[in-house]
């Protein structure tokens, strides 16, 4: 067992193990007092040495991360990430064939043998990297995060670490991530790889976690080999063979919350291969050393309406909020619970007002096409964001706390007041630190306002039709 795994590294249990001796008290009977004192000193010395060893050992596994100082490139990438505000999340894998989400292996309690039939049916002849990247761009999205492998462990890329991958197991036989990466570079979109640490297929994912079922794997396996060779090996491939990558979006640690995931080692590997790559873990916990972004699944930062996120919101790291266009991540043929363009626009505005990005998911079909219902909605959002983008891209959360009525964003000397749900003609806001020098509607039109020690009162024009967001632009004075 590794030192850092033991709870009592500095405790009795550990020392007893280390010395292999019985507890001190039992030595007293046969030996003289001076001997006891000496023995005690020896134990103390052993304790000190053991303590130092433990610190050194944990420095080895943890240290690089604990002392993690993000590189200049990384800090720059964080800024760019925050400026980007809107990303496309893509869940796509052999599970897409069954049209019932990405958890089907687990939900149907399939055996490995049964699930291994699926890749034979996966032949996305309509996959068109250019069409996907163009769609993201048309929607106003500035980055793409795609499943390089999900919990089924199936690599959607050309991996030499194992043949459980798209090139070797499917009739398609090609690497879509390679094509996507090249197209993203051509079109100036950043590409992030979702990577599941949880694996329902590899026998070395052992001891298994909370989502395990009897799927035919042996009851033994080499956890260290899984992490150090298999997982890190694949990450090395992803960070070596696809040009500059935005980062890695990790998921699945929650399956074994108490396990040693060798995080420091993996994080250091990523930052060593590409210092600017951002590590974005979906572990729903307080950010750990070495991580670059805090992401919230199906939630705004700190809200935890979904019940599994943390309420802690980092004031240091860029924030991201992920959500689905219908109710599903992976292609779900019966899910017609589409969010309207207006709902999606509000979601994006609320994310920005909470100082966060929105990562909006679509699950492409197994033939490589993206269904019309997604395409039309994304185009509508794109047209909208082309007009309102000034108040979203490159902003940070504004000075007024978000509320049901709306949110604020800020860029330089401008505060954007996003009025989302407010039916009265006057909107009162708390006092600003700086005097407001002027106010106008985004896109033109003067706005009347008054200000005094109590705050600011803005006269908001009535919403036109389905207008989602009325944006009042405040110019901050000296």
Nearer to ligand JFZ, 102 or 237 (CB): 102
Nearer to ligand JFZ, 251 or 320 (CB): 251
Nearer to ligand JFZ, 308 or 312 (CB): 308
Nearer to ligand JFZ, 64 or 94 (CB): 94
Sheet strands side by side (includes 356-362): 278-281, 247-251, 190-196, 143-149, 86-90, 356-362, 319-324, 294-297
Rounded least distance, CB 175 to ligand JFZ, Å: 21
Nearer to ligand JFZ, 82 or 282 (CB): 282
Q: Which of 62, 145, 266, 282 binds ligand JFZ (CB under 6 A)?
A: 282
- What gap in Å lies between CA 264 and CA 261, rounded to an integer? 8
Q: What one-character-per-residue DSSP string does 100-122 give?
A: B-TTHHHHTT--HHHHTTGGGG-
Phi/psi region, residue 292 (left: phi>0; alpha: psi -120 to 50; beta: rest), is: alpha
Which residue's CB atom is positioned nearest to ligand JFZ? 308
CB count in 10 Å sphere of residue 96: 26
- What gap in Å lies between CA 55 and CA 25, rounded to an integer? 27
Nearer to ligand JFZ, 193 or 329 (CB): 329
Label the pairing between strands 319-324 and 294-297: parallel
Please give the DSSP secondary-structure letter assigned to residue 88: E
Q: Which of 240, 308, 376, 448 binds ligand JFZ (CB under 6 A)?
A: 308
Helix 129-138 and helix 176-187, axial crossing angle in degrees, nearest 10: 40
Rounded least distance, CB 329 to ligand JFZ, Å: 4
Size of the site for ligand JFZ (CB under 6 A): 10
Draw the binding track, 359-388, toward ligand JFZ (x: CB under 6 A; -: no contact).
------------------------------
Draw the binding track, 249-268, toward ligand JFZ (x: CB under 6 A; -: no contact).
--x--x--------------
State which of positions 322-341 bind ligand JFZ (CB under 6 A): 322, 329
**By CB under 6 A, is residue 152 in contact with ligand JFZ?**
no
Nearer to ligand JFZ, 322 or 326 (CB): 322
Rounded least distance, CB 118 to ligand JFZ, Å: 16
Q: Is residue 4 a contact partner of residue 62, using CB atoms and an 8 Å limit? A: yes
Label the pairing between strands 86-90 and 143-149: parallel
Rounded least distance, CB 297 to ligand JFZ, Å: 6
Rounded least distance, CB 277 to ligand JFZ, Å: 19
Draw the binding track, 94-123, toward ligand JFZ (x: CB under 6 A; -: no contact).
--------xx--------------------
Draw the binding track, 174-213, toward ligand JFZ (x: CB under 6 A; -: no contact).
----------------------------------------
- What gap in Å lies between CA 318 and CA 354, rounded to an integer? 11
Q: Which residues pair with 196 in a beta bridge?
A: 251
Rounded least distance, CB 102 to ligand JFZ, Å: 5
Torsions phi, psi for 158 (to 5 deg) = -75, 100
Q: Is residue 147 a contact partner of residue 96, using CB atoms and an 8 Å limit? A: no
C-alpha distances (whole Å) from 328 to each of 128, 198, 272 are 22, 19, 35
Residues in the chain: 478
Three-class secondary structure of residue 399 per DSSP: coil
Footprint of ligand JFZ (CB under 6 A): 102-103, 251, 254, 282, 284, 297, 308, 322, 329
């Amino acid at each position: 067992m590794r030192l850092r795994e033991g709870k009592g590294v500095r405790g009795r249990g550990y020392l007893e193990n280390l010395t292999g001796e019985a507890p001190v008290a039992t030595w007293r009977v046969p030996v003289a007092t001076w001997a006891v004192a000496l023995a005690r000193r020896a134990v103390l010395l052993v304790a000190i040495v053991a303590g130092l060893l433990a610190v050194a050992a944990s420095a080895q596994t943890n240290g690089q991360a604990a002392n993690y100082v993000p590189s200049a490139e990384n800090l720059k990438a964080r800024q760019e990430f925050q400026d980007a505000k809107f990303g496309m999340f893509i869940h796509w894998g052999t599970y897409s064939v069954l049209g019932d989400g990405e958890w089907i292996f687990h939900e149907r309690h399939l055996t490995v043998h049964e699930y291994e039939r699926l890749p034979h049916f996966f032949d996305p002849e309509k996959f068109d990297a250019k069409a996907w990247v163009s769609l993201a761009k048309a929607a106003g999205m500035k980055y793409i995060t795609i499943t390089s492998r999900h919990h089924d462990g199936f690599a959607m890329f050309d991996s030499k670490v194992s043949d459980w991958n798209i090139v070797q197991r499917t009739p398609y036989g090609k690497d879509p991530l390679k094509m996507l990466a090249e197209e993203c570079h051509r079109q100036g979109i950043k590409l992030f790889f979702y990577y599941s640490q949880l694996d329902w297929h590899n026998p070395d994912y052992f001891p298994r976690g909370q989502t395990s079922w009897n799927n035919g794997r042996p009851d033994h396996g080499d956890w260290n080999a899984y992490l150090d060779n298999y997982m890190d090996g694949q990450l090395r491939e992803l960070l070596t063979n696809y040009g500059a990558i935005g980062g890695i979006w990790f998921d699945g640690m929650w399956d074994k919350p108490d396990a040693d995931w060798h995080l420091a080692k993996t994080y250091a590997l990523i930052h060593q291969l590409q210092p600017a790559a951002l590590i974005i873990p979906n572990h729903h916990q307080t950010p750990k050393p070495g991580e670059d972004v805090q992401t919230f699944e199906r939630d705004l930062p700190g809200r935890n309406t979904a019940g599994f996120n943390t309420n802690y919101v980092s004031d240091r790291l860029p924030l991201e909020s992920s959500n689905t266009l219908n109710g599903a991540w992976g292609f779900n043929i019966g899910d017609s619970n589409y969010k309207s363009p207006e709902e999606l626009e509000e979601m994006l505005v609320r994310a920005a007002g909470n100082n966060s990005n929105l990562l909006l998911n679509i699950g492409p079909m197994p033939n490589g096409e993206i269904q019309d219902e997604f395409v039309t909605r994304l185009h509508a959002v794109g047209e909208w964001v082309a007009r309102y983008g000034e108040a979203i891209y490159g902003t940070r959360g504004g000075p007024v706390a978000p509320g049901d009525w709306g949110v604020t964003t800020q860029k330089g000397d401008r505060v954007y007041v996003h009025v989302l749900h407010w039916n009265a003609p006057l909107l009162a806001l708390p006092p600003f630190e700086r005097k407001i020098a002027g106010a106008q509607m985004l896109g033109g039109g003067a706005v009347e306002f008054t200000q005094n020690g109590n705050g600011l009162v803005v006269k908001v024009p009535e919403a036109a039709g389905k207008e989602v967001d009325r944006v009042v632009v405040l110019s901050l004075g000296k």
